Amino acid sequence: MLPATEEEIQHVTNYVKSEAPDLTVQFVQKVYSENVLNVMHDVWDVHTNVDRWWVITAPMNLYSQDQFPNMDLALTFHIGLCLRIPRSDRQKLSDLPVEPFAEAYRYLREANDALTQASEVADYQSIGVRCREAMLAFIKAAQTVIPWTSKEEPPKKADLKAWADHICSVALAGAAHDDRRHLFKTLLESAWKFTNWLTHSKSSRWHDAEAAIATTENAISLATSAVILHVRGVPEQCPSCGSHRLSPQRGYREDLPDVEWERPTCDKCGWTGSPVAFRRETPPADVRRADPPQSECIMPETPLRELRRPKGNDA
């Protein structure tokens, strides 16, 4: 058995109740956790008055223990579904917690879409342009949340190297971050140099465009995470218990109902940090997408002919 907070247990219990209001949850126990591609999946053993279920998190789903008597099989199946979710069914860009960096990620998405059709040098150059624009959008957004504070004249807004140095120095300050700071700055500068080459190269290939997208996305994602953690005051570990399992919690205040707030919380002991107000960026109309259909997942007919859902005694 793994330790779990009362909030975690209640969250799983409420989820099962929402899926099967006719069942009575009698026992909830966390039995396993595994980090896959930087996503923590917790496995819960849930007993009801009728049957037993595995509840697996991130995203949360349940699986009948009659169909999945082996926990490893249920977890493997769950992770496989997460990895195979179609692009159209993933989180909308406006739902991602990367405000105000959404514009950079829109350029990256456009570059990824263009890569699927790219076959000529001109196509690769166009992808290079999109990667450059993504990096400039990141720098522009970062300037608003980590402004220039030195008495010296600030660099030009498009001076990526100078701003990358400033942003990393502030977001990753101190001797403890020397190696991280060097890595992030090097990634940003190397991606910038490579995408500039791709934009003007007459001898590039498809794999060069793929490499430009991968390196740009990696550099922006890591730097964005560092900036957001810095701006929102997220500690490196829980000040109360030392756990690294910190998650964001969002909500509203009664006296400021129009402002959304976020604070770090510890998944292990329940510690909460100071809330920080933020404004969600709304993407332009041409990139908004409709919500994915709220339907059941398509299951393979073999060996599973259906994925059993919880039912009450009368079902």
For residue 217, what pLDDT is reported? 93
> When comparing pLDDT for 264 and 294, which is higher?
264
pLDDT at 298 over 50: no
Q: How far is CA 100 from CA 200, 246, 265, in A?
A: 29, 21, 22
pLDDT at 226 over 70: yes
For residue 285, what pLDDT is reported? 41
pLDDT at 299 over 50: no
Q: Confidence class of residue 214 from pLDDT cuts 50, 70 and 90? A: very high
E strand or H helix that includes residue 43 = strand 39-48
The single-letter DSSP state of residue 116 is: T
For residue 300, what pLDDT is reported? 42
Give the chain's mean pLDDT. Answer: 81
Q: What is the pLDDT of residues 94-151, one digit of tens each?
A: 333 455 688 898 899 899 999 989 999 999 999 999 999 999 999 998 888 888 888 8
pLDDT at 251 over 70: yes
Q: What's the pTM value of the predicted model, to 2 decimals? A: 0.56
pLDDT at 54 over 50: yes
Residue 198: which of 288, 144, 122 has the closest Cα? 122
Q: How far is CA 83 from CA 37, 79, 88, 251, 291, in A?
A: 10, 6, 13, 29, 19
Provide the percentage of residues in the chain whose pLDDT is more than 70. 82
For residue 278, what pLDDT is reported? 59
For residue 85, what pLDDT is reported? 57
> When comparing pLDDT for 20 and 304, which is higher?
20
Q: Confidence class of residue 72 from pLDDT cuts 50, 70 and 90? A: confident
pLDDT at 309 over 70: no
